Amino acid sequence: MKFGTKAIHAGVEPDPSTGAIMTPIYQTSTYVQRSPGDNKGYEYSRTHNPTRTQLQNALAALENGKHGLCFSSGMAAIDAIIKMLKPGDEVISTNDLYGGSYRIFTRVFQNFGIKFHFTNMQDTANVKKLINENTKMIWVETPTNPLLNIIDIKAYADLAKKHKLLLVADNTFATPYLQTPLDLGADIVMHSLTKYMGGHSDVVMGAVIVNDDELRKQLAFIQNACGATPGPQDCFLVLRGLKTLHLRMERHCQNGRKVAEYLKEHPKVGKVYWPGFESHPGYEIAQKQMLDFGGMVSFELKGDNVDDAVRVLENLKLFALAESLGGVESLCGHPATMTHASIPREDRMNAGLSDTLIRLSVGVEDAEDLIDDLAQAISV
């Protein structure tokens, strides 16, 4: 099936008891057994729930994977992945990843003896220098948040296999509509389903997709044992969102391009971060591993006056100033004080994340209205 057909049909079956075409919300905590241990595949909803099962199957199908597992948030999905490691293990990741990922790595798991290295992953030589006998995992985020750098998934898949490491790809920004990391050699794909996959800013959830049966077994044990599982209502909402993922992503990409091109020509804008520009250092890799360039755009005004950036954010009308991204409505944010505030300023600056950077999640409204909104806010 082509992607649009998969988004609507793959992994989802009509309800066998009623024929309902939409997956029911199985709002139950437990299930009656015929005899001790003799059940219909469901015992307790922390372990399994029919609504969640359908969502997990759908996610696996969209990522061209074998197994999907859902968690109560994107952070819970990250938590489960890192819990497969042991004290003394080491992880290599990019120096410009999402602030929440950086926070859980450095302020939670580092306390339990897991060591994390952060480096510029646009050059594989930087990662090769850090690999040692304790290295167990490479963590890739592409496009990165919020600088929209592109990391070559296939190159790191080859490197990981050579050194028998796990390669994890955070596919939140791209979604499987734009790229499928498992097809490029990644071992684990994770998502904050809160973002584009749910798409309507009404649910918080995360997911992990794998092909390997043993990885699935380990992650399913952690999912059940630690209990960070989503409720059936949230699973229903994400299932609903997936059915329009291809339509929404197409429009996000169209609008993202128009907004990026407008900002690039604006006399008050200094730099625009968007991988669709031929001048972007990751343009060729993005062309190779992505269908399109996405709906995320970051930019800086000329000069380094933080007040100017704050004034733009305060005066935008259609772009709502809020955390998160990937909803149908356009959002704007100030990474230095919002999504990436947990990263020390010196580390942010070294990675190129300035105090004046503005991040846009370009929604599916009419692009002309979004550009008009940017024009009036920047001109204030």
CB 258 within 8 A of CB 250: no
Helix (H, G, I), strand (E, B) or coil at 135: strand
Active site residue 98: yes
Whether 46 is a known active-site residue: answer: yes
User: Which listed residue (15, 31, 46, 154) is catalytic?
Assistant: 46
| Closest listed residue to residue 93, CA positions, set 143, 47, 160, 140 | 140
From the candidates 96, 152, 170, 234, give the one annotated as an active-site residue.
170
Catalytic residue among 195, 216, 248, 348: 195
- The closest of 238, 202, 245 to 364, measured between CA atoms, is 245
Active site residue 366: no
Phi, psi dihedrals of residue 301, rounded to the nearest 5°: -80, 160
Alpha helices in the chain (DSSP H): 3-9, 50-62, 74-82, 99-107, 124-128, 153-162, 175-178, 213-226, 232-242, 245-265, 283-289, 306-315, 345-350, 367-379
Q: Is the Cβ–Cβ distance between 326 and 350 less than 8 Å? A: no
Is 161 a residue of the active site?
no
Separation of alpha carbons 58 and 174, rounded Å: 17
Per annotation, catalytic residue among 26, 98, 177, 273: 98
Residues 6+ apart with CB under 8 A from 370: 255, 258, 259, 318, 319, 330, 362, 363
Q: What residues are annotated to the active site?
A: 46, 98, 170, 195
